[in-house]
Structure 1
Amino acid sequence: MIEPAAATWIAIIVVLAWPMVAFALYSTKPPAEATLWTILGGLLLLPATFAMKIPMIPALDKTSVPSLCAFVAYLFFVSRSSRTSSRFGSAELFAGLYVLGPVLTSVFNNDVIFVGTRILPGVGLYDGVSALLSQLIILIPFFIGRRLLQRSSDTEAILKVLAIAGLLYSIPMLIEIRMSPQLSNWIYGFFPSTGMAAEARYGGFRPVVFMANGLAAAFFMATSFLAATALWRARTAVTPVPPAAVSGYLAIVIVLCKSAGALTYTVLGGLLVRLVTPRVQLRIGALLVGVGLLYPVLRVTDLFPDHAVLEVSSLFSQERAESLRFRFDQENHLLDRAMQRPLLGWGRYGRSRVYDDDSGTDTSFTDGAWIITLGQFGLLGFLAQFSLLALPVFRALSAYKNAESEKDRIYLAALVTIIALTFVEQLPNSSISSWSWLLVGALLGRTEYLKANARRGRRFRDTTGVADARLRLLSDGR
């Protein structure tokens, strides 16, 4: 994480000025659209791996600042009549565990750890409260999306904003593809990733722009492509350019991003969104999320056939097989560490990582969000976070039949596909963001809205039927 002292004054000014950008958006656009651009704009434009730390409050960075801006704007710009509420259910349970779990983790991890020459401090109640506030800020977009982005027009707005943002972001990405990933260095004074060498691929570089790394930037473009493809299928124009041309252009940019994962999501996800019926898309999305939940369970219980996977992988590419073997080995070491405190984890400050016994050198490489969460906050934290991510996808299966039109079904299925792929992406990488939580909340809100409308429709039909029966009785009596 880059501290303010190590960054340029431009990075500090941009982060502190984002509330003014948010105010301008909410003053000129409808609350739903302004919320989308506030959260997504922060993800795409604010400096990555940069945080301003102030005592007693969570760090100010590209996650917390847009989320807090959206929260304040929600209170002031969204009328009370437009705000919805819901009864306590599984979503509230998972959200509560996600927010409160770190407090329990901190209380039970106040011991100091000595590894070689390294000293890892214990975490106490103060750190638990700090983690609680951080988790709460992370979930702000989820709560806002659930309350504010419930209608079909809101889902359409999500897809439009995502497609337009992809088109706009492709310009700096193409610059970095042609030159090198230097925009963050030129503007903010530092490179956000672990090093430019990590972004070198096939004689060139992955574009990073202001994202955490090239993989995150490529995955964002893949989701933009899926949004544009859904709009193409629904015959909804985003620009004066034909929708097919928009999808084709974004696909070319993704190829130039040199990310095998993003390219896989683009090809398979694109085929789903463009050709497969919305109902089947929902089922495949639920299947992907189920696999995403099953993989960590199999890894924890040592039932995953990693040796068989490596053998199959070596048939296609020995280099990929070795990379996969390294990932599995690292996960095994981190799992051994995590299972020493399985329920609540080790807490923050790097306590869940693996160190050399003699020198204290950090020997672990953590990529997947699932293993990071499992190590830090244990099985409780993992189940809370990933169950909350998965819940709307499963809810969409039952809400689908209440969709208002074919276009509504296309939008709903596309959003499910994007979230399902985001879920799967957390297995090899850690790219969950405030934008991801906003989409998850929007999908949950949409499913709840559809079910509530269906219930109101049934009550109306029941009431009408009773009234008709009474009229018939009165007529017969006469």
Structure 2
Amino acid sequence: MSPLVPLTLFGFLPLVLYLFNRFPGQRAVVVSFVAGYLFLPQAGFLGRFPIVPGLPPYDKISALSYCVLIAILLFDSGRLSSFQPGWIDLPMLTWCLCPIATQMANGLSPISPTTVQIMTWGVPYFIGRIYFNDLAGMRQLAVGIFAGGMVYVPLCLLEMRISPTLHLRLYGYHARVDFAQTMRYGGYRPTVLLEHGLWVGVWMMAATLLGILLWRTAIIKKLWNYPMSWLVPVLIVTFILVKSTGAYLYLAIGIGIWFTSRWLRTALPLLLLSVAISIYLYLGATGELYRIPQVNAFLVASENTDNDRSASVAFRIANEKLLAAKAQQRMIFGWGDSGGNRIYDETGKDISVTDSLWIIAYGLQGVVGLISFTAMLLLPSLGFVFLRYPPSTWSNRKVAPAVGLALILVLYLLDSILNAMTCPVFMLASGGLAGLVLKEPETNRPKSVRVAPPRRTLAQQR
């Protein structure tokens, strides 16, 4: 491990403090989370501080929450008092506190798992609630994600040429222990400084979708003095070269929902996608999915195919079949961190492969965790669209960035069916959308009427 690893993780705090001292709060939060997520090393310090037993690890994700929270307390503490809880916060609250019930039900300590859950998911959501609960804040967050995608463009292109080794060259080791799946379609698939190439694909998908919306709605015309008509095509080409097939599908779905909903003036396509995801999770959690003849036929056919993508999907579904059966043994609250959610061979070796975020949530926190995890992503997006800003308002330049972020949250949940990407930046969007749902739509607010001064008569003018 390079000395740069602890230097960047622990040196991130003074950088965040500088940003809060130098820029307004919203911009400081966006830059801190986007830059930290994209550039901090994939590392954690666990067991290095024996003074506090059971202390959770300080890693890349928790560093974002800890550092930004400290900066808020020092520079913008008044913002904390602006938080007003509402019904839409219940899924996130349940998700964050679920490890307490889970751990206690399994006779385990709840301190570390609950703290990790709160710092990974709850704190970014809370920060989003107090900083991005208006359309201007959502616009700034959307521009920040797009800018993060543009910053990754030259790094992705570089790794396509030299192989995905930037994390190794900079921090002294690969971001993943099982460094694999770097080749796709005859070339390298970049990972840059994220854990996996699939994570890069989802991030670039989100940046590309927002870039297209920002460009086509003329919300911003330039970024860093470069016209959007240049930047967005470059981002699209880079996204294609990232070679993430699933991310291609997500982008197509997102753009399709955007244009279809605006044209038909209904959010039914987004609702149908959300219902489809929920049905899949229900079938997977109950085991009914693996009793469908077509699914079993797909698994058998994929064993004898040379298609890497089909084989990968089949492998994940086959593993989820075993893991779902194990999770059903502790269906309500799950196994916690006891390891009971894993699959072991006759020698006691762990042979589990947990690629999907949904099966991880189900195994660790049971049905309660799975439902709360799903609801914390779907409710803010659907509430924003159906309760506050219907498709008839999506052409409004103030509304469009928030709509793009709402689409990304649902697409992120769709990706969680197959992958296990953790992205606190998306939780900022979830919190911001939740805040917008609890407020009156800004587009319906009466505008101040300017009263013209009375005209002076000819005699008065004289």
TM-score range, shorter chain: 0.7 to 0.9
1:95 is matched with 92
TM-score under structure 2 normalisation?
Answer: 0.87
| 1:219 and 2:205 correspond | no
Corresponding letter in the other structure for 1:361:
K
Is the contact between residue 38 and residue 70 of structure 1 (CA under 8 Å) also seen in structure 2? yes
Q: Relative to 1, partners in 2 of residues 1:83 and 1:171: Cα closer, same or farther, differing over 3 Å?
A: farther
Q: 1:268 aligned to 253, 260, 263, which one?
A: 253
Q: 1:19 aligned to 4, 10, 13, which one?
A: 13
How far the C-alpha of 1:367 sits from its partner, in A, is 0.7
Q: Find the aligned partners of 2:411 and 2:86 in 1 and give their Cα distance.
A: 28
Q: 1:336 aligned to 325, 333, 337, which one?
A: 325
Q: Find the aligned partners of 2:9 and 2:341 in 1 and give their Cα distance.
A: 30
Q: 2:57 aligned to 51, 56, 59, which one?
A: 59
2:123 is matched with 140
Q: Find the aligned partners of 1:278 and 1:399 in 2 and give their Cα distance.
A: 19
TM-score under structure 1 normalisation?
Answer: 0.84
Matches within 5 A, 1:36-435: 36-53=30-47, 54-55=49-50, 56=52, 57-78=55-76, 80=78, 84-91=82-89, 93-110=90-107, 124=108, 127-138=109-120, 139-235=122-218, 236-239=220-223, 240-273=225-258, 277=262, 282-304=267-289, 306-309=292-295, 319=307, 320-356=309-345, 358-396=346-384, 397-401=386-390, 406-435=396-425
How far the C-alpha of 1:378 sits from its partner, in A, is 0.8
Deviations 1:423-468 (A, max 9, x none): 11111001132112111111111222335896x86xx9xxxxxxxx
Q: Find the aligned partners of 2:190 and 2:79 in 1 and give their Cα distance.
A: 44
How far the C-alpha of 1:282 sits from its partner, in A, is 4.4
Is the contact between residue 313 and residue 418 of structure 2 (CA under 8 Å) also seen in structure 1? no
Q: Find the aligned partners of 1:85 and 1:166 in 2 and give their Cα distance.
A: 30
Q: Find the aligned partners of 1:81 and 1:298 in 2 and give their Cα distance.
A: 42
Deviations 1:1-42 (A, max 9, x none): xxxxxx221101100000111111111211011101111111
1:114 is matched with none
After TM superposition, the structure 1 stretch with the greater mean CA deviation from structure 2, 96-105 or 205-214, is 96-105
How far the C-alpha of 1:285 sits from its partner, in A, is 2.9
Is the contact between residue 333 and residue 354 of structure 1 (CA under 8 Å) also seen in structure 2? yes
Q: Relative to 1, partners in 2 of residues 1:310 and 1:342: Cα closer, same or farther, differing over 3 Å?
A: closer
How far the C-alpha of 1:136 sits from its partner, in A, is 1.6
Residue segments in structure 1 that go unaligned for 5+ positions in a row: 1-6, 111-123, 461-478
Report SS of the residue matched to 1:193.
coil
Report SS of the residue matched to 1:351.
coil
How far the C-alpha of 1:218 sits from its partner, in A, is 1.2
Is the contact between residue 96 and residue 118 of structure 2 (CA under 8 Å) also seen in structure 1? yes
1:121 is matched with none
Is the contact between residue 229 and residue 244 of structure 1 (CA under 8 Å) also seen in structure 2? no
How far the C-alpha of 1:276 sits from its partner, in A, is 5.1
Deviations 1:241-277 (A, max 9, x none): 3323322111111111111011222333234446751
Corresponding letter in the other structure for 1:245:
W
Is the contact between residue 227 and residue 414 of structure 1 (CA under 8 Å) also seen in structure 2? yes
Deviations 1:390-441 (A, max 9, x none): 1101211211159697112322321111111111111100113211211111
Corresponding letter in the other structure for 1:137:
M
How far the C-alpha of 1:109 sits from its partner, in A, is 1.4
Is the contact between residue 45 and residue 58 of structure 2 (CA under 8 Å) also seen in structure 1? yes
Indicate the percent of aligned positions where both proteins have the same amino acid.
26
Is the contact between residue 229 and residue 273 of structure 1 (CA under 8 Å) also seen in structure 2? no
How far the C-alpha of 1:190 sits from its partner, in A, is 0.8
Q: 1:445 aligned to 429, 435, 445, which one?
A: 435
Q: Find the aligned partners of 1:409 and 1:216 in 2 and give their Cα distance.
A: 27
Q: Find the aligned partners of 2:252 and 2:190 in 1 and give their Cα distance.
A: 20
Q: Find the aligned partners of 2:11 and 2:260 in 1 and give their Cα distance.
A: 43
Q: Find the aligned partners of 1:260 and 1:364 in 2 and give their Cα distance.
A: 24
- Superposed CA RMSD in Å reads 2.8
Report SS of the residue matched to 1:72.
helix
Q: What is the number of equivalent residue pairs in this alignment?
A: 435
Report SS of the residue matched to 1:197.
coil
How far the C-alpha of 1:161 sits from its partner, in A, is 0.8
Q: Find the aligned partners of 2:341 and 2:268 in 1 and give their Cα distance.
A: 36
How far the C-alpha of 1:340 sits from its partner, in A, is 0.7
Deviations 1:346-385 (A, max 9, x none): 11153311000x2111111111111001101111111122
